Amino acid sequence: MRTLTVVVLIASFFWSPATAASAQSGVAAKRKRARIASIQRWMIVVWLVTLSLWCSAASAQISNLPEDIQKRLSEINPLYQSNISKYGRETIQLFTPLLATGPKAGVNVSADESYGADPRQKLDVYQPQGANNLPIVVFVHGGALTSGNKNETDEISANALYYFARHGFLGINATYRLAPKHVYPAAAQDIGGVVAWLKGNAKRVGGNPERIYLIGRSSGALHVATWAFDPKIHGANGPGVVGLILISGRLKADSRADDPNASRIPEYFGTDASLYPERSPVNYGALSALPTFIVIAEFDNPFLDVYSAELFAKMCVARSRCPRFLRLVGHNHQSTTASLNTADNLLGQEIIDFIKQGK
């Protein structure tokens, strides 16, 4: 099955309209391009199907959650993509009371440390008792480019950092500047600001500045990937991190009409669509050798799973081996990280194992 998967992924990557049409000319080439574009869309579907068969597609320990949450989540998920705003909020509301009772003992929180002059350039430090030279996990929230905060509620996002602090990491919960006031690449540069703050302050708060891992979800994954993968953004000194976890990332600037968040793309990336390809991590991320873990949900925001699968495929080709990939069955775009620090422990376990293994 692994061999079949990789063959399909490699074939789909190299089978592009530009490649196939280059051998054609005139009217024939025009017809071919239209046909091949259709084939390519099917290839993306094949990527997702084969990925779901090959990669870690476990049931995400949904059965460990309280029965009322299991039941409501099973009702929300089939409807999720029909109204991501409504059902995303419902999912957050569903998990918030559970997270309020989650384990937090032994973790000290220092809120609103400034890593820059802007009011949104803030981070919270989650420090286990006796922290000393611990690996660092930075969690970067989503929000579709124009909204979001490091504390979605009193519990959402904080749950992730409590989880990692309880398991031997220094946790950092960071926020960043938003569009439309701050446009590309401001949010990615803010990730660099967080990294710079950690280089100067990690030892003081019990962390190891040489072992920084970035976790980004949704648009947060975009900003993490842009900072870490693009040399034009992080510069000659490199990104300063040793690994990435990209969860349901908006890894492509693609304002397609059937994307419910399409209107927000030009607010961050600008209105010149000719610049979108070079600003999309899916097109250059595979050139980086940084260890990368890609995660998607079974019921994800439209196209974010596709962009993630596309980056996975390109990394498979460029690196001659595939990065770690996880499809969380039974989860939607919000519930993946909302389940951290609950009895549904799969995502957390996989991230910790990725960090321990370095791959």
Q: Does residue 9 have a pLDDT over 90?
A: no
**What is the per-residue pLDDT across 271-298, written as a single tens digit (0 to 9) for each?**
999 999 999 999 999 999 999 999 999 9
Percent of the chain past pLDDT 70, that is, above it, reads 83
**What is the per-residue pLDDT across 20-48, written as a single tens digit (0 to 9) for each?**
343 344 555 555 555 544 445 445 545 54
- Residues of the chain within CATH 3.40.50.1820 domain(s) are 63-357
Q: What is the pLDDT of residue 61?
A: 80
Query: Whole-number mean pLDDT of the chain?
Result: 89
Q: Does residue 159 have a pLDDT over 60?
A: yes
Q: Tell me how far apart the alpha carbons of residues 162 and 173 are, in angstroms, rounded to a whole number.
A: 10
**What is the per-residue pLDDT across 303-340, written as a single tens digit (0 to 9) for each?**
999 999 999 999 999 999 999 999 999 999 999 999 99
Average pLDDT rounded to a whole number, residues 81-90:
98
Q: What is the pLDDT of residue 16?
A: 43
CATH number of 63-357: 3.40.50.1820
Q: What is the pLDDT of residue 6?
A: 39
The neighbour count for residue 359, using CB atoms within 10 Å, is 13
